[in-house]
Amino acid sequence: MANWTRRGFCGSVSGLAAATSLAAQQRGSQPLPEKRTGHGPIKITDLRCAIIGRNPVVRIVTDQGISGYGQAESAKPYLKPMVLFYKDYILGEDPTDVQRVLLKIRRLGSSKPWGSAVSAIEMALWDIAGQAAGVPVYKLLGGKIRDRVRIYNGGVRFPMTGQTPQDYAENMAKMKEAKEGFTLIKQAVGFHNAAMMRAVPNAWYDDPRTGAAHPDRGLMTERGLKHVIACVEAMKKVLGDEIGLALDCGPGWTVKDAITFARALEPLHITWLEDLITGDYTPYPNADVFREVTQSTSIPIHTGEQIYLRENFKDLIEKQAVNIIGPDPEDVGGIAELKWIAEYADLHGILVAPHGIFDGLIGLAAHVQMAAALPQNYIAFEYPVGQPEWWNEIVDGLPNPIVKRGFIDVWDRPGLGVTFNVQAARPHLSGEDRGFFD
């Protein structure tokens, strides 16, 4: 990878062909379309989407030799038609007018997973805007307030050997020794962890169900609740006060079980309890119910990964229904949308810890740029990794190692600061996506 240096603004974003040409050349191995010879505004000429591995990857092509990339979660390979649905809405627009472009499409998205296409497009627009201006995206979001950003384990997991408290203790010991040096670790428990709940006979007053993610819900039995608490106690004993422990809990808990569980864990100083009531693929936040739980315990209560756009965080924030919000930039409407929500939450004394476990390496770059500019209510974001592992061979620009002692240093390359090694990436394209990089 070439050496990069931070550069200042070179005139207007849309007015200097020389600046856009240089920024495009700095993209390494990406093939460059012919440049326009005029000095008019930059225009979008194409919107493409390829499924690389399982991640839908967006490429926005312009008439001045710059392409921008965005990415959706690896759990959503079915999104490609939804991404391409927006093509006719944005062709001919100036991609550096990010909000103007989004006004044409953002109202057509919805709760997880249907906000993902808009979110990926938004990231690609910021990638172009940063390249055109010759600056990292964080500069366009208001500038960074931190030089390194804290992450938690997210996509770094070790296989469980069983579902006993001892199994969870052993798993936490491995996490504690992980090369990333995490200062905060999140583990799935309760209804977010079907294996944990189904390992105990009659753990709750209902039968296990099949279907979409996290289908189980109900009142826990005494046996079930005691089992979850024992597993948490075993994990915390391993981590001590050296490393924080957050718990991804649901959705699916009743209010009374959630309160009982939270109060039982108060002596352990858990960092947060996530998605107890609603969460993954729940198309509403249920602020009033969350508020009852939040007011009943000293443990921070967290939710928000499934929510799309600022309007749908309004009740959670204004009613102070939770202590921490966790929007995912690949679901909420993008990185600028998440920053706006974080700023509004900060005014209400609410913290932010963005979700992102499946966001991929382009998503990781977007997280870093965004987190550098988030207000001081920022805790950490969920660390996504490249899956399959060959993703690490097709993306240029990430530091090596990416994580140092639980943090990622913020880089200063233009745009999102990463691009594809096209030669390495082409073999991973399907037949229908073979023209993605052309």
Number of Cβ within a 10 Å radius of residue 424: 14
Q: What is the pLDDT of residue 39?
A: 62
In a domain, 385, yes or no: yes
Q: Assign 409 to helix, strand or coil.
A: strand
Q: What pLDDT sits at residue 28?
A: 44
CA distance 234 to 200: 17
Mean pLDDT of the chain: 92
Mean pLDDT of 387-403: 97
Residue 109 lies in a domain: yes
Q: What is the pLDDT of residues 45-73, one digit of tens each?
A: 999 999 999 999 999 999 999 999 999 99
* Tens digit of each residue's pLDDT (9 = 90 or more) over 168-180: 999 999 999 999 9
- In contact, 262 and 297? CB cutoff 8 Å: yes
CATH number of domain containing 75: 3.30.390.10
pLDDT at 212: 86
What pTM did the predictor assign? 0.91
Predicted confidence band of residue 213 (pLDDT cuts 50, 70, 90): confident
Predicted pLDDT of residue 168: 98
Question: Is 60 exceeded by the pLDDT of residue 16?
Answer: no
Mean pLDDT value across residues 412-425? 98
Task: Write out pLDDT tens, residues 231-275.
Answer: 999 999 999 999 999 999 999 999 999 999 999 999 999 999 999
Residues 276 and 188 in one domain: yes
pLDDT tens figures, 281-321: 999 999 999 999 999 999 999 999 999 999 999 999 999 99
| 393, 382: one domain | yes
Does residue 9 sit within a domain?
A: no
183 and 130 within one domain? no
Domain membership flag for residue 158: yes
In the chain, pLDDT over 90 holds for what percent of residues?
Answer: 90
Q: Which CB contacts under 8 angstroms, 24+ apart, belong to 172-180? A: 172/234, 172/235, 172/238, 172/239, 172/245, 173/238, 176/238, 176/239, 176/242, 176/243, 178/153, 179/401, 179/403, 180/151, 180/153, 180/156, 180/383, 180/401, 180/403, 180/406
Sheet holding 407-409, edge to edge: 381-382, 148-152, 407-409
Residues 56 and 159 placed together within one structural domain of the fold? no
Residue 40: pLDDT band with limits 50, 70, 90:
confident
- Residue 3 domain-assigned? no
* Same domain flag for 183 and 86: no
| Residue 182 sits in the same domain as residue 104 | no
Asked if 88 and 29 sit in the same domain, the reply is yes
In a domain? residue 10: no
- Over 70: is that where the pLDDT of 23 sits? no
- Do 318 and 185 share a domain, yes or no? yes
Mean pLDDT of 149-172: 97
pLDDT category of residue 27 using cuts at 50, 70 and 90: very low
Residues 227, 293 share a domain:
yes
4 occurs within a structural domain: no
Q: What total of structural domains would you count in the chain?
A: 2
Domain containing 102 equals 17-139+424-433
Residue 314's CATH number = 3.20.20.120
Give the model confidence (pLDDT) of 316-373 as tens digits: 999 999 999 999 999 999 999 999 999 999 999 999 999 999 999 999 999 999 999 9
Q: Which residues of 316-348 are buried (b: 16+ CB within 10 A; e: fewer)?
A: bbeebbbbbbbbbbbbbbbbbbbbbbbebbbee
Are 123 and 271 members of one domain?
no
Dist CA 99 CA 272 (whole Å): 33
Q: Would you state the pLDDT for residue 29?
A: 47
Residue 374 within any structural domain of the chain: yes
229 by Cβ neighbours in 10 Å (0-12 / 13-18 / 19+) ranks as middle
**Distance between CA atoms of residues 192 and 251, nearest Å:** 7
Residue 126 has pLDDT above 90, yes or no: yes
Ranking 16-20, 103-107, 311-315 by mean pLDDT, the lowest is: 16-20
Q: 302 with 352, same domain? A: yes
Same domain, 65 and 40: yes
